[in-house]
Structure 1
Amino acid sequence: MQLLEAKLHKIDRHNYRSYSSLRGEYHFVDFDFFIDITQSDPFAPASRVRARRKWSLTDLEWLKEQSPDYQRAARDFIARHFAELAQQINEIQIDRPGQAVLDRTAVVFDDDALELRFRVDLPSDGRTIIAKKTANLLTFTMPKIIRRATIARELPMDELKRHCETVEDQVALRKQLADKGLMAFVADDSILPRLAGNSDLPMADALPFVSPESLAVELEAPHRGKIRGMGVPKGITMIVGGGFHGKSTLLNAIENSVYDHIPGDGREYIVTDESASKIRAEDGRCVHNVDLTPYISNLPMGKDTSMFSTQNASGSTSQASWLQESIEAGSNALLIDEDTSASNFMIRDERMQALIAKDDEPITPLVDRISLLRDQLDVSVLLVMGGSGDYLDVADTVIQMHNYQALDVTEKAKGVVASHPTRRQLEGSSEIARPRTRKLNRAGLKAQLEDGKFRIQVKDKTSMRFGREFIDLQALEQVADSSQLHAIGWLWFQIAQGKGWEKSPSKAFSQMLASDEWFRTMPNYGDIAKPRVIEVMAVLNRMRKAEFK
C-alpha cells in the first residue's frame, strides 16, 4: 500500500496519462491488489483492477469443497454483494449480475485465493491527476468494500447458502428432463410475467402458475425435495389461447430458463433443455452457405438454395436459415412465436394453395416439415400459435393459456381436427436430413481483427464489435447478458489463431467451453460470462464478413 501511495504522490497534478505508471502489483495487509489496465483519459472506459485475498483470511474456504454449480452460485452472490456495497461509490463498478446466475469472471476462485475483478474510474480535475482523492479511493474506500465482500462474518451467510442451493436445485431439475421425456418443466407457484418490457424483475401480484393435472409431474431437487409442476413433453407442443392471456409470457419464461435464476425471481424452478433455441424472422440479416432446400427451393433465376448466401435475407429465408443453423449448432428443441415469425414460412392455407400452384411457390412451410423434425431428427418444437389451426394436425400436446393459467386441451384439439378436417395439401418430401456441418475460415476472423486493431467491444446485448465489424444482435432474445458477448469475442479470437478452415466450429467452441476453467485462456477481465455454443454460433452467423463453406 505504501508503494501505491508513493507513486500517487509522485504523479500528483500531472497529466492524466501518468496514471499508466500505476500498473502493477501492490501488497496490502490482507490482500494483494493489481492494476492491470489504466484508462487513457477521464472519459475512457474505467481502469481494470483485481484484488486477491487468501482463503485463510476469509473463512470461506469451505466453498472450495462444494460442487462446481454451488461455487458458480457463490461467486455470483459475492459479486452481487460487492455491487451493493459499492453502489454509492460511482468510481467503483463490478460486472453486476441480472436475474440469471451465469458463470462469470467478476469473482474467481483459485486454489489459494478468492479474486475480485472490477473497474475503477481514477479521479481527476479535468485532465489533471488529484493524488489525494485517488489515494483515499484506493487505500481507504476500496479496501473496506473488498474486505466486507470477502469475509464470512460480513456476508449474509443464510442468503448465500439459499442462493447456492437454489442454483443446485435448478441444475438437478434440468438434468432430469431427458429421462422424463420432457423439453421443459414449469413448477407450480412460478411467477411468469415480468414487471415491464424493459425489466426482467417479476411482476408484483401476478397469478402463480398452476399445472394442469394431466401434465403434472414431480421432479426431485436435492435441497427443496419434490417439486410439482407442468412437464412440457418432447415432440410438438402448441401453446394456444386468446390474445393477452399469457401465451408469449409462458414461452418467454421457458426460453429464458435455459439459465438458472436467483431466488425470488419467480422462475427459479422453471428449467428448459439447455440446447433450446428460439428462432424468428429477421429481415435483412446475412446468411452464409446454409442448406435451405427442406424449406426453400426453385427460386427464380435458378438460384441454388443448397448453399444459400445473402446479405439481405427476407423474413422466410432468415427464419429457415436460423432453424438450420440452430440444429447445426446442436439444438434439440426449437421455440417459435407466431407473432415474430414470417407467415409464409409458417403456413400456406388451402385457398393460397388453390391460387398459387406449388410449382410457383418456392417455400415449403414449416407446418409440412415440423413432424419430420420430430420423427426423423428428434428435434422438439414448442410453438405459440393463435392464428392457424392447421398445426393441430401435427401437435402432440396442446396447452391453452386462459387468464395466465394453463389448460391441457389436447383431447379437445383432437376432436376439432376430427370434426373440422383440413383441406390443404401436404407439401414437400417425406424425408428430411440434418444440415451439413459448415467449415469456418479462421483466417477471415483474424483479418477482421487485424483490420480493426484487435478491437472486441460490447456495450449492451444488442450489438458487438469484432475488429472493424459491428454485428447487429437485436433479434437474439436468449442472450442473457452483454458479458456473454464479450466472452464470444474472445472465443473467436482464440479460434482465429489457428490456420486454415475449422471443420466443425460448434464442436470446437463446445470443447473450449467444456472445462470449469474455460475462462483461463482469456484476459483477466471481470466482465466475461460463459455463453452457450448456441449463442456463439448465432452471433457468428450474423457476422457479415464471416466465411463458411
Structure 2
Amino acid sequence: MNSQRSNLASTLHSLDGRSYGNYKQIRGSYEFGPVTVFIDRVQVDPFASPSKVRIRINRAEAGFPTDITTERTDRIAASDFLFRVGDSFLHRNDRRSVILGRPGQEVLERTNVVIDDEGLEARLLVNLPARGRRILGHQAADILTRDVPELAQAMFVHSNLSGDDLREHVQLHRDQLELRNRLGEEGLLAFIGNGAILPRRAGDSDLPMDSSAVAFSSPASLQHTITLSSGRSLTGMAIPRGVTVIVGGGYHGKSTILRALERGVYPHIAGDGREWVITEPSATSIRAEDGRAVTGDDISPFINNLPSGTDTRAFTSTNASGSTSQAANLVEAVEVGARSLLIDEDTSATNFMIRDDRMRALIPADREPITPFVDRIRPLFTRRGVSTVLVAGGSSAFFEVADHVIALDAYVPQEVTETAHELVGVSAADLTGSVEPDSAEVGDDSDVSAPRNPAEAAAETAGEVFTTPQPRIPTAKALRPSSKTKSAKAKGLGQVQFGKAFIDLSAVSQIVDPQQTTGIAEALEYMSEIFDDRVSLTEALAEVEDMLDAQGVDGLTGNRDHPGHVARPRPQEIAAALNRFRGLHLVD
C-alpha cells in the first residue's frame, strides 16, 4: 500500500466513532498508483448533500488512442462511453455509496466524466457512512481507498475496456452528427431510418419495446438513401422542409413518431432503436399550456383585436389560456431560432389550431380575435422559413396546406398526400409558391415548394403576417430579485427553484434528463450577470452558447474543480425556463 493510501486509510480508521464533522480532516488529494483521488468537499452532516470527490488519470497512464479523443465531439462521445462503463461497474459491484450519475438513452455533453488535453476525470458524489452522527471510519476507508480507485481503473485504463466498443460508440456519434448536418444540405427537416424501433417499452420507460415492436419502414415515395463519409449507407424516410401532416387511427403510432422526432434532436446510443431518427437541432415541440406566465410576447399573428383593447404585440399574462399559451410557445420558439415545430393535436388548444366553416359563418372574422394556426402555418414557412410536423387525428383542416400527408396504419406509414388533396379540392394550380428570400437566414435553402390555397393567399396579401418582432430586453435585475438569497436549483426533471419562485417546465417535453434541468438552473444564474438593460434575450442565449462551445458545461458553473452533475441544455429549453419565470421584467 502506498504511503498516501495508507495515510488516508489510517486517518479514516482513527476517525471511527467520532462526530461526523471530523470527516473534514480528509480533504485533499491522494495518489493511488496512476490514479489521483481529490476530496474536494466533505459533507457536514450525514443527511446533507453527498461529498464531492474526483478521480483523475493522466493520458499517458490511461493509454487512450488520440484519434478518438482529440476532437471536441469525439471527447463528448468517449466521455459518454466511460460514463456508462462507470455506472455499470458501480451497479454490478453494488457500490451504492458512490454516485456517478445514471445515463439515459441519449448522448449528452455532461460534467460527470470529462476528457481534456492532460487526462481523464470523473466527478463523483460519495455518501460518507455514519451511524447516527458518528463516523463509520472503517467503511469509509473501504469506499475511498478501495472502491473509488478500482472505479478509476475500470473506467480510465484503456486496456481494461473494450477498445472496439469504444471506437464503435464514437463512430456512431460521428455518423449521427454528420447525418444531422446533411439534413440542411438536402432540404430535410428529419430522417427516420428503416428498421428503427420507435415504440417505447412503457409510458414511463424510454427503453425500446421488445421484439413485438413493428420496425419502421419508409413509404417508397419518401424513401431516401444517404451515404456518409465513414462509408455507412442509410436508407429511410426523409421528411422535407415545409408542412407535413401525420394522420391515422388512434393507437396506430402517430404520437409515437412525433415523440421520436422530438428526441431526434439528440444522438442516441446503439440498441436504442432511434439511432437513425435524426431531427434538425432547433426543432421545438409546441403545445397548449394553461396557466403559464407570458411576458412581452408578440402574439399578434395569432391573437389580435381583443375586446379589452390589450396590445398583443407585447402581450403579458400571469395566467395564459390554452390558445394564448400555445401562441406564446410558438412565437418564443421562433424568436430563439426554431426552424421547425413539432405539434400534436392532442396537446393543442382546438381554437388555436382550427376554425371550421360553420363557426366562421356564425362568428364573423372581425369579431373573432384568434386567427387559427391553420391560416398561419404556410406564411410561417414562406415568410420565416419555419417548417411544421403536425399530428392530426380528428380534423382534415390541414390537408389543403400540407406538402405531405403521411398515414400510419399499425405503425406502418404510407404517403397519402394526393388523396388528401383531392378530398379537400386542392388543385395543381394551388400548389405553387416558395419560401421568400427574407426567410433564407432561418432555413438552409430558399427554394422549397410550398402549396398555397386561396384563403391563405388572401391572408398574405393583407400585409406582412410575420414581421421580425422587436427584441425583448430583460431588465438588469430581471434574474436578480432582492428576495433571492440562494442559487437556482433543479427540482427533478420538470422544475427549477429560482429564489422563492418555482419555474414549471413539465410541459417542456424535450428536456430528457434531470441533469439538463440543473444545466438550465445554472444557465439562468449565468445570464443574470449578462442582462444590463441593453442585452436582448436572444443575445444572452447566444452568449451562453458561445461560452458552452468554448468551455464546455464546466463553464456554466464557473469552472469549479467539482461542478457537480450537469448536462448541457439546448438554448430552446433555457429560453423556455426564462420565459416561464414569473419574475421576468422587460425594458419598456
Fold shared, TM-score > 0.5 on shorter chain: yes
Name the amino acid aligned to 2:464: E
Residues 186 and 270, structure 1, Cα contact 8 Å, conserved in 2: yes
For 2:577, give the aligned amino acid.
Answer: V
SS for the counterpart of 1:217 is strand
Any idea what the Cα deviations from partners look like across 1:345-389, whole Å, max 9, x if unmatched? 001111111222222211110011111001111110111111221
Corresponding residue of 1:480: 512
1:277 counterpart residue number: 284
Shift of 1:342: 0.2
Is the aligned partner of 1:104 residue 2:110?
yes
Partner of residue 570 from structure 2, selected from 526, 532, 540: 532
| Aligned AA (2:28) | G
Q: Deviations over 1:188-214 (max 9, x none)?
A: 111110111110000012111111111
Given the superposition, is the C-alpha separation of residues 244 and 19 from structure 1 closer, same or farther in structure 2, using an over 3 Å criterion? same
Please list the CA deviations of residues 215-251 of structure 1 after superposition, one character each: whole Å capped at 9, or x if unmatched.
1111123335110111001011101111111111111
Residue 346 in structure 1 maps to residue 379 in structure 2: no
Query: 1:390 maps to which residue?
Result: 397
Which one of 438, 442, 447 corresponds to residue 481 of structure 2? Answer: 447
140, 145, 151: which one aligns with 1:145: 151
How far residue 63 of structure 1 moved from its aligned partner, in angstroms, is: 5.3
Q: Is the 8 A contact 1:95 1:526 kept in 2?
A: no
Q: Which amino acid aligns with 1:497?
A: E
1:380 to 378, 387, 392: 387
Q: Do 2:246 and 2:405's aligned partners in 1 also have CA atoms closer than 8 Å?
A: yes
Q: For residues 469-522 of structure 1, what are the alpha-carbon distances to aligned partners after superposition, in whole Å with 9 as ceiling and x for unaligned? A: 221111010012111121222222222224622523333323333325232432
Q: Residue 267 in 1 paired to residue 305 in 2?
A: no
Question: Contact 2:55–2:148 (CA<8 Å) still a contact in 1?
Answer: no
Q: Which sits farther off after the overlay, 120-129 or 481-490?
A: 481-490
Pair 1:221–1:154, CA change in 2 (3 A): same
Q: Residues 16 and 127 of structure 1 are in contact (CA less than 8 Å); yes or no, is this contact kept in structure 2? A: yes
Which residue of 2 is the match for residue 86 of structure 1?
90
Letter of the 1:532 partner, please give it.
R
Give the Cα–Cα distance (whole angstroms) in 2 for the partners of residues 286 and 419 of structure 1: 39
Query: What do the CA deviations read for 1:237-272 (whole angstroms, capped 9, x no partner)?
Result: 101111111111111111110000000000001100
Q: What SS is found at the alignment partner of 1:300?
A: coil
- The letter for the 2-side match of 1:517 is Q
1:28-73 deviation digits (Å, cap 9, x = unpaired): 2222211222223222221121111111111115256543222211
Letter of the structure 1 residue corresponding to residue 574 of structure 2: V
Aligned-pair identity (%): 40
Can you give the 5+ residue segments of structure 1 that lack an aligned partner in the other structure?
A: none
Contact 2:189 2:239 survives alignment (8 Å) = yes
Aligned to 1:176: 182
2:289 and 2:326 in contact (8 A); partners too:
yes
Give the 3-state SS of the residue equivalent to 2:225 in structure 1. strand
The Cα shift of 1:10 comes to 4.8
Q: What letter corresponds to residue 113 of structure 1 in structure 2?
A: G
Q: RMSD across aligned C-alpha pairs, in angstroms? A: 2.1
Q: Is the 8 A contact 2:112 2:124 kept in 1?
A: yes
Deviations 1:376-416 (A, max 9, x none): 11110111111221211111111111110110111111211
Q: Secondary structure at the match of 1:275?
A: coil
Q: Please point out which of 238, 241, 244 is paired with 1:234.
A: 241
Please give the secondary structure, in 2, of the residue aligned with 1:501: coil
1:25-36 superposed matches below 5 A: 25-36=29-40
- Contiguous gaps of at least 5 residues in structure 2: 431-452
> What displacement does 1:419 show?
8.0
Q: Any idea what the Cα deviations from partners look like across 1:403-439, whole Å, max 9, x if unmatched?
A: 1011011111121122899998976845222333211
Quick check: 284-293 or 485-494, which moved more?
485-494
Relative to structure 1, is the Cα distance of residues 125 and 169 closer, same or farther in structure 2, using a 3 angstrom cutoff? Answer: same
Matches of 1:442 and 1:13, distance apart in 2: 51
The structural deviation recorded for 1:140 is: 1.2
Report the equivalent of 1:324.
Answer: 331
1:461 pairs with one of 493, 506, 515: 493
Q: Deviations over 1:134-183 (max 9, x none)?
A: 11111012211111111112212222222111111110100000111100
Q: Which residue of 1 aligns with 2:434?
A: none
